[in-house]
């Protein structure tokens, strides 16, 4: 059965080669190649889209901001159209957002922000939908690396 990888911001930034966010690019690109060869389904959560856009907007060099903003929108549009290695995950409904907000105080106490919490919640939801598949969060962030459901 195909595995499902939920792609974190740290991975997406390395793939896009964003300055100061790309220190693990060689390893990430090799892992991406391996996952694609294994036919792993790659999902890009909206938190990763928002956070990556924020990192690009904070680049100090205006030329880099423009260049990487254009690469970013091209890649996200391709993902939406099904032309990229990953698919953009659907936006949560209001009930889901309400659940995330209820969980946020505990998440914040562990040092995990709303973006990480939403990725964890998307991981949990994906497991409920496809419990017979390996579902993991692909991240360089230590707080997200342990999320790996193996049926």
pLDDT value for 62: 87
82: left (phi over 0), alpha (psi -120 to 50) or beta: left
pLDDT value for 129: 95
pLDDT value for 83: 94
Angle at 141 between CA 136 and CA 142, to 5 degrees: 85
pLDDT value for 23: 97
For each successive 10 residues of the chain (151 residues), what is the average pLDDT? 94 97 97 97 96 96 93 96 93 92 93 93 96 97 93 94
Give the C-alpha separation, 6 to 146, whole Å: 12
Domains of the chain: 3-90+121-149 (3.40.50)
pLDDT value for 98: 93
pLDDT value for 143: 87
pTM (2 d.p.)? 0.92
Give the C-alpha separation, 9 to 139, whole Å: 7
């Amino acid at each position: 059965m195909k595995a499902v990888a939920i792609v974190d911001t740290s991975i997406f930034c390395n793939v896009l080669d964003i300055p100061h966010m790309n220190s693990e690019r060689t390893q990430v690109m090799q892992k991406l190649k391996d996952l694609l060869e294994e036919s792993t389904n790659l999902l890009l959560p909206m938190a990763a889209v928002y956070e990556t856009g924020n990192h690009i907007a904070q680049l100090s060099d205006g030329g880099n901001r423009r260049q990487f903003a254009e690469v970013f929108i091209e890649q996200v549009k391709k993902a939406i159209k099904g032309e990229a290695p990953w698919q953009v995950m659907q936006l949560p409904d209001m009930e889901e957002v309400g659940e995330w907000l209820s969980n946020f105080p505990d998440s914040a106490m562990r040092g995990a922000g709303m973006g990480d919490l939403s990725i964890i919640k998307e991981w949990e939801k994906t497991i409920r939908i496809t419990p017979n598949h390996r579902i993991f969060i692909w991240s360089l962030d230590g707080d997200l690396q342990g999320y790996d459901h193996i049926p």
